[in-house]
Amino acid sequence: MDQQLLSRTAAAMVAKGRGVLAADESAGTCETRFKSINTPCTEENRRAYRGLLFTTPNVERFISGVILFDETTRQKTDDGVLFPDYLARKGILPGIKVDTGAKNLALCPGEKVTEGLDGLRERLAGYFKAGCRFAKWRAVITIGAGIPSHTCLYANAHALARYAALCQEASIVPMIEPEVLLDGDHTIERCEEVTEATLRATYAAMAAHNVSFEHLILKTSMVVSGKANARQAGVEEVAERTVRVLKRTVPAAQPGIVFLSGGQSDVSATAHLNAMAAMKGLPWPLTFSYSRALQNPALNAWKGQAANACAAQKAFHHRAHMNGLAAEGKWKPELEKAAA
């Protein structure tokens, strides 16, 4: 465990005005997204698409790291440079998704637990050699009638903690992602309650497994109304409730927090981040680790055609720029209109 390397990596991940691109979609998720633009989900198309994102000129001004999928660590740019090496040369930290997905939790109908601990120590050693300096593990928490259960919260917290300890042992910064899904008709009050319970369980497990809070990054969902709820909370309420939960549960020693977009629209995710980052007296920096909220405009501009690569890169650069401003509390809606 190289504590100096872990400290440098964690600090770089949440550097001022920069955030993390989540480009760790599985082939199945990529297929769904590529279908939306009528593009076959071949390995070459996945390589070409991710390559155009990574090679976007000057995007390193706003992107501090990229979460890769296993396949992507072995793919190359058009010039023949492995993606992790290319990103590192550009000043962007390569990261890696290491869980193997959420599976049905036994005796807990409607709930999931994330798997992937078997062989993880050996896989982490390989990813470190490949240049990956941080990792990600996602847990899925569903709000519904009688759920989440105590069993679900603590099963996922236990897995997150074991993963985090193995990462730190390997000198890889663990990004923990206990995501409370926005699917459902629950109120924002219920989301706040579940988010707090989830984070309390998560950090209790971290402490029990001797995980160093100084070398840990939280990737969290925001406290929002359920997608099907009639009352959708406004930006300020989302920001207030989210930060309140974080202050109650996340140690001040932690280097920073990144947010997932969780199905929010591109601009909504930016606006919510901006409102939180603009708050005074926060004990940690707040920034983004978005997937769809960063990629959607680029994907729609690309349409699977090499001729559209420049337009796609322009769209990606704009969203990265907007979220970089939001991470400093400097974003304004007029900036979106100016670019339209």
DSSP 189-217: HHHHHHHHHHHHHHHHHHHHTT--GGG-E
Would you say 143 and 190 are in contact if contact means Cβ atoms under 8 Å apart?
yes
What one-letter code names the amino acid at 25?
A: E
Would you say 116 and 101 are in contact if contact means Cβ atoms under 8 Å apart?
yes
Q: Output the pLDDT for position 43.
A: 95
Q: What is the mean pLDDT of the chain?
A: 97
Going by pLDDT thresholds of 50, 70 and 90, the confidence category of residue 339 is low
Would you say 106 and 151 are in contact if contact means Cβ atoms under 8 Å apart?
no
Q: Output the pLDDT for position 331.
A: 97
Going by pLDDT thresholds of 50, 70 and 90, the confidence category of residue 27 is confident
Tokens matching residue 22:
């989540």
331 closest CA partner among 238, 235, 234, 224: 235
What one-letter code names the amino acid at 51?
A: G
Look-up of token digits 């629950």: 186
Summarised one tens digit per residue, pLDDT across range 262-319 is: 889 999 999 999 999 999 999 999 999 999 999 999 999 999 999 999 999 999 999 9
What one-letter code names the amino acid at 112?
A: K
**Cβ–Cβ contacts within 10 Å for residue 250, how many?**
20
Q: Output the pLDDT for position 263.
A: 86
Look-up of token digits 């969203």: 319
281 closest CA partner among 329, 236, 321: 329
**Given 177, 179, 192, 196, the catalytic residue:** 177
Going by pLDDT thresholds of 50, 70 and 90, the confidence category of residue 338 is low
CA dist., res. 141 & res. 152, Å (int): 8
pTM over 0.85: yes
Would you say 133 and 9 are in contact if contact means Cβ atoms under 8 Å apart?
yes
Give the containing element (helix H, strand E) for 312: helix 309-326
CA dist., res. 326 & res. 287, Å (int): 8
What one-letter code names the amino acid at 31?
A: E
CATH superfamily of 3-332: Aldolase class I (3.20.20.70)
Tokens matching residue 82:
């492995």
168 closest CA partner among 215, 202, 101, 126: 215
Going by pLDDT thresholds of 50, 70 and 90, the confidence category of residue 218 is very high
265 closest CA partner among 323, 207, 211: 323
- Annotated active-site residue 219? The verdict is yes
Going by pLDDT thresholds of 50, 70 and 90, the confidence category of residue 100 is very high
* pLDDT score of 52 more than 90: yes
* pLDDT score of 65 more than 60: yes
Q: Are strands 112-114 and 102-104 parallel, antiparallel or unpaired?
A: antiparallel
* pLDDT score of 96 more than 80: yes
Give the containing element (helix H, strand E) for 158: helix 150-169
**Domain residue limits, the chain:** 3-332
Tokens matching residue 107:
């005796």
Tokens matching residue 144:
């519904």
CA dist., res. 238 & res. 169, Å (int): 36
* pLDDT score of 340 more than 60: no
Q: Output the pLDDT for position 79.
A: 95
| Number of alpha carbons in the 13 Å side-chain half-sphere of residue 295 | 26
Summarised one tens digit per residue, pLDDT across range 119-168 is: 999 999 999 999 999 999 999 999 999 999 999 999 999 999 999 999 99
**Cβ–Cβ contacts within 10 Å for residue 228, how many?**
10
* pLDDT score of 53 more than 60: yes
CA dist., res. 303 & res. 36, Å (int): 9
Helix (H, G, I), strand (E, B) or coil at 6: helix
- Annotated active-site residue 177? The verdict is yes
What residues contact residue 192 under an 8 Å CB cut-off, 6+ apart? 223, 241, 244, 245
In DSSP notation, 14-50 reads T-TT-EEEEE---HHHHHHHHHTTT----HHHHHHHH
**Given 97, 112, 136, 219, the catalytic residue:** 219
